[in-house]
Amino acid sequence: MTRRRIGYILSGIAILFLSFDTAVKLLHAAPAVQANAQLGLPEPLILVVGLIELACLIAYAVPPTALIGAVLFTGYLGGAIALQLRVGNPLLSHTLFPTYVAALIWGGLLLRHPRLVGILTGERT
């Protein structure tokens, strides 16, 4: 398999997972309500968080704005890590889970667009 194909597969997995997560929030499903309550977020914020996630997802899924989407998701997922730390959830299964998602997002993007590695590291081509 080529790097590019692996990149599309990783990005596809991330997009599928994040689409499901976004839908759960936008539909105000019971798991989203319970998870947000456990994290200490007021119930009305579920829709707001879902809309922010949807905006990041659209930006990432559209090829010309994928880099912007990855950057936005990095901030979004950093906030998720902070919330998990604040409530003292287990490190590997809960707190670092957003890091695993970010690795899929960035791994997929960098494998699809190898020139980005040079741009992000400051290498001259």
CB within 8 Å of 47: residues ≥ 6 apart? 25, 26, 28
State mean pLDDT over 81-110: 95
Among the residue ranges 53-62, 84-93, 103-112, the one predicted with the least confidence is 84-93
Query: What predicted TM-score, i.e. pTM, was given to this entire model?
Result: 0.90
Asked if pLDDT for residue 113 goes beyond 80, the answer is: yes
Q: pLDDT tens for residues 17-62? A: 999 999 999 999 999 999 999 999 999 999 999 999 999 999 999 9
Q: Taking the CA of residue 90 as centre, how many other CA atoms within 13 Å lie in the half-sphere pointing to its CB?
A: 3
Buried b (16+ CB within 10 A) or exposed e, 11-39: beebbeebeebbebbbeeeeebeebbeee
Are residues 16 and 108 in contact, defined by beta-carbon separation less than 8 angstroms? no
State mean pLDDT over 78-82: 96
Q: Where are the domains of the chain?
A: 3-121
